Amino acid sequence: WAIFQQDRLEAALFWQPAGGQANPLWLAAPAQVDDALVRALLSHARQDLQSDRLLLIDYPARQSEAGIREAGFRDEGARAHLVAHQ
């Protein structure tokens, strides 16, 4: 998934299908990205990836925290891993 504004890539989210209990997501965005864009991107992915498995995002601590949490992710205490329960 990707978000563009005025033909400029603002953020991208990649899903890595994997075995195990979680679906890993990788967020690529600049440190100062708008939290609303991050929230929209992650919320869209959550809708597309509806399953019984957790969604796991590994992203630098304290970056886009509000947008990530508003999309339904919460800190599970392991480094910068944030988890959304479907």
- Phi/psi at 45 (nearest 5 deg)? -65, -40
pLDDT for the residue 80: 44
Backbone angles phi, psi at 31, to 5 degrees: -60, -30
Cβ contacts of 47 within 8 Å, gap of 6 or more: none
pLDDT at 11: 92
> pLDDT, tens digit, for every residue of 2-60?
999 999 999 999 988 777 777 788 888 888 889 999 999 999 988 888 777 778 887 77
CA distances from 32 to 11, 65, 74, 82, 86 (A): 11, 11, 20, 19, 28
- pLDDT at 58 (0 to 100): 75
Euclidean distance between CA atoms 81 and 8, whole angstroms = 28
pLDDT at 84: 55
pLDDT of 56: 82
Q: What is the pTM of this model?
A: 0.78
